[in-house]
Structure 1
Amino acid sequence: MPGAIANHPVTELLTLSRQLAWGASKILRAYYRGETEQDGVALDLDVKEKKDGPVTAADLAVNHYVLQHLKDALGEETFGYLSEETYKAQADAKPFPQDWVWILDPLDGTRDFIDQTGEYAFHLALTYQGRPMLTVVACPEAERVYFASKGNGAFVETADGNVQPLTVSASDRPEDLTIVASRTHRDERFNHLLASLPCKDKLYVGSVGGKIAAIVDGRAEVYLSLSGKSAPKDWDMAAPELILTEAGGQFTHFSGEPLQYNTGDVNQWGGLMASNGHCHNTLCTIANDVLAAYDQAAQS
């Protein structure tokens, strides 16, 4: 990765991204706790159920905060900006023309946010020609910000300003690996896949950002996503992917192909495997075989 991106030093962009992650965390925590504004009125989540899941006032507040700061600092000529709200505003689904595109998820795990599990996250990724180059993931309730840039490693920052490098676990036997999964969003096909893998232990965590944080923190080694009637979006995966791979892990389709972002279709269809890397190809092969057998049985 170059030392500068469109005349902006990488360190400068990382600093800006980390500042925005902490600022977004403050906003999300305020809504999460129903804190009062200056006029004494409590912040209202104003939950609206949408086709792809709920949207709250917290999503919209963070979306506005981050995009305004990015555009004020960087402009809109060199950089594109993709988030759930900007995507909906597009007249038709097409890639942004810029090579450099910011991809934002202001509130990953909205249902966990509403249900008060504490397992929600904030994602921000800067991609180049469809691949992540600089990203941050914030877990507001844990008061941790994870960040990475291509080729420079992954790190975690705590509220006191302490920064530590991240490295995935060294576990290298499938039966010793822990899978981190959602408590919900699992259909019968996905439950069958989970039950068929050799990994014995399960850890249940909300939000994709929280799941990848569990892997880079060493609490788990494997995360799987399998689309059904719907699929995860670019903004769910782009930021966590680079955090994991820069910490030594792998994040691919079950086929082994890399994920691509800003293609015009924000859905990440199919099966996705994130892991500490040591059994990645083996688990991808098992997952493909299990699903092929399941689908064949379902059709007979």
Structure 2
Amino acid sequence: MTLFFLPIPVNSPLPDLTLADILERTIELSQTAAVILKSYYRGSPAQLEVIDKAEGPVTVADKAVDRHLLDGIQAMCGDSCGYLTEETYQAGDFQLPQDWVWIIDPLDGTRDFIDKTGEYAIHIALTYQHRPVLAVVAIPESDRLYAAIAGGGTWNITADGVRTPIRVTGGKELTKLVVVASRNHRSEGLVKLLAQLPCQQQLKIGSIGCKIAAILEDRADLYVSLSGTSAPKDWDLAAPELMLIEAGGKFTRQDGSLLKYNQGDVNQWGCLIASSGEWHQQILDACLD
């Protein structure tokens, strides 16, 4: 059953499938990927084979889910799309030539996965000319799944298949906003930036997908990222960004511009602000002070 019915601004990369059809198949893939991650999460520590890299740890679970998702999506789309995933990316500034590019993080929040906080997620996005048009974010440990399509809104899909459209809420005073902050990545610059915001209540969560889900669920209102020696990557942001925007929120750079993906450098440098939207400009102004 196709649940997305609003106008979609771009065509599909496949002649025999609409974007809504592709999203339905992507939802199914993400559900089976969640089962795989859960099996590793509940397995013995020896199964994880943790490898510490400069950008963070990688486990056999990351690689298994990456292969599962790539096999399924490539079987559907073939050479009509490019593929950019955290586990297959080779360091270097290069841009995939295709208009349509899948951007995938098979396990966002690997440290939280290892530490058993439950705050890890699967990110899958399809971009068209550098902007996301289709997204799925699955949070296995809470059996939550969010699906979004450009012009078609964001939907929550429960484990038993119930589908509910989601819109972010507002109505809070600026000083009462809750800032969702990282558990593991808190540079000195980010700490200083957060301290100058007009709202000081914080909720600490791992994965970026889980952070943005907290905004959708009205447990938080604002997320701020500030790069230092490293920055969030395309695969960290593409799916959560569309998920928030299609639910009525905002996700921009400090100057108010939209993010772009598959630009050569996968790092999203600078200050990025995601919010429920109501006080977005005021937050941008505060970050410029």
Measured against the shorter chain, the TM-score band is over 0.9
Tell me how far apart the structure 1 counterparts of residues 10 and 276 of structure 2 sit (CA, whole Å): 27
| 1:53-106 CA distance string (max 9 Å, x none) | 000000000000000111111102x10000122212x7x431111000000000
Work out the percentage of aligned pairs sharing the same amino acid: 51
Tell me how far apart the structure 2 counterparts of residues 183 and 59 of structure 1 sit (CA, whole Å): 20
| Backbone CA RMSD of aligned residues | 1.4
Residues 194 and 200, structure 2, Cα contact 8 Å, conserved in 1: no
| 1:217-272 CA distance string (max 9 Å, x none) | 11111001000000000000000000000000000001111101000100000000
- Bigger CA drift: 191-200 or 160-169? 191-200
Provide the residue aligned with 2:241 in structure 1: 241
Structure 1 outlier segments of 4+, above 6 Å: none
Count matched residues.
Answer: 280
Shift of 1:288: 1.4
Provide the residue aligned with 1:274 in structure 2: 274
Structure index of larger Rg: 1
Tell me how far apart the structure 1 counterparts of residues 182 and 11 of structure 2 sit (CA, whole Å): 38
Provide the residue aligned with 1:9 in structure 2: 18
Provide the residue aligned with 1:64 in structure 2: 67
Shift of 1:146: 0.3
TM-score, normalised on structure 2? 0.94
Residues 3 and 9, structure 1, Cα contact 8 Å, conserved in 2: no
Shift of 1:198: 1.1
Provide the residue aligned with 1:296 in structure 2: none
Residues 62 and 87, structure 2, Cα contact 8 Å, conserved in 1: no
Structure 2 residue 55 is the aligned partner of structure 1 residue 48: no
Residues 171 and 177, structure 1, Cα contact 8 Å, conserved in 2: no
Provide the residue aligned with 2:41 in structure 1: 32
- Bigger CA drift: 176-185 or 99-108? 176-185
Provide the residue aligned with 2:227 in structure 1: 227
The residue type equivalent to 1:235 in the other structure is W
Aligned to 1:244, what secondary structure does the other structure show? helix
Provide the residue aligned with 2:254 in structure 1: 254
Shift of 1:172: 4.6
List gaps (5 residues or longer) in structure 2. 1-7
Q: How does 1:182-221 map to 2 (within 5 A)?
A: 182-221=182-221
- Bigger CA drift: 233-242 or 279-288? 279-288
Provide the residue aligned with 1:19 in structure 2: 28
Aligned to 1:126, what secondary structure does the other structure show? strand
| 1:91-130 CA distance string (max 9 Å, x none) | x431111000000000000000000000000000000010
List gaps (5 residues or longer) in structure 1. 36-41, 290-300
Tell me how far apart the structure 2 counterparts of residues 106 and 212 of structure 1 sit (CA, whole Å): 17
TM-score, normalised on structure 1? 0.90
